[in-house]
Amino acid sequence: MRALPLVLLLASGTAFAQEPDFSKVEIKTTKLTDQLYVLEGMGGNIAVSVGEDGVILVDDQFAPLSPKILAAVAKLSKKPLRFVINTHWHGDHVGGNENMTGAGAVIVAHENVRKRMSTKQFLKSWNMTTEAQPKAALPVVTFTSDIAFHFNGETVHVIHLDPAHTDGDSFVWFEKANVVHTGDVFSTVGYPIVDLDSGGSYFGFIAAADRFLATGDAKTRLVPGHGAVSSKADVQAWKTMLTTIGDRVKKGRDQKQSLDQIKASKPTGEYEARYGKGFMKSDRLLETVYQSLGN
Of 154 and 184, nearer to Zn ion (C-beta) is: 184
Of 189 and 259, nearer to Zn ion (C-beta) is: 189
The residue at minimum Cβ distance from Zn ion is: 90
- If DSSP states are collapsed to H, E and C, what string results for 216-272? CCCCCEEECCECCCECHHHHHHHHHHHHHHHHHHHHHHHCCCCHHHHHHCCCCHHHH
Of 11 and 177, nearer to Zn ion (C-beta) is: 11
Taking CA atoms, 8 is separated from 22, 69, 101, 130, 204, in Å, by 12, 17, 22, 12, 22
**Which stretch in 58-66, 85-93, 144-152, 278-286 sits in contact with Zn ion by CB under 5 A?**
85-93
Considering the complex, what minimum distance in angstroms separates the CB of residue 119 from Zn ion? 18
Considering the complex, what minimum distance in angstroms separates the CB of residue 225 from Zn ion? 6
Considering the complex, what minimum distance in angstroms separates the CB of residue 14 from Zn ion? 13
Of 180 and 262, nearer to Zn ion (C-beta) is: 180
Check residue 109 for interaction with Zn ion (CB under 5 A): no
Of 13 and 216, nearer to Zn ion (C-beta) is: 13
Considering the complex, what minimum distance in angstroms separates the CB of residue 289 from Zn ion? 18
Considering the complex, what minimum distance in angstroms separates the CB of residue 63 from Zn ion? 16
Which DSSP string corresponds to 30-89? EEEETTEEEEESSSS-EEEEEETTEEEEE----GGGHHHHHHHHHTT-SSPEEEEE-SSS
Check residue 11 for interaction with Zn ion (CB under 5 A): yes
Residues 6+ apart with CB under 8 A from 71: 27
Check residue 90 for interaction with Zn ion (CB under 5 A): yes
How many CB atoms are located within 10 Å of the residue 140 CB? 15
First to last CA, the chain: 37
Considering the complex, what minimum distance in angstroms separates the CB of residue 93 from Zn ion? 6
Check residue 59 for interaction with Zn ion (CB under 5 A): no
Residues 6+ apart with CB under 8 A from 21: none
Phi, psi torsion values for 284, nearest 5 degrees: -65, -40
Footprint on residues 173-192 left by Zn ion (CB under 5 A): 184
Footprint on residues 263-292 left by Zn ion (CB under 5 A): none
User: Are the CB atoms for 138 and 169 separated by under 8 Å?
Assistant: no
Torsion of CA 198, 121, 6, 92, to 10 degrees: 70
Footprint on residues 216-245 left by Zn ion (CB under 5 A): none
Check residue 117 for interaction with Zn ion (CB under 5 A): no
Of 90 and 181, nearer to Zn ion (C-beta) is: 90
Q: Which residues bind Zn ion (CB under 5 A)?
A: 11, 90, 184
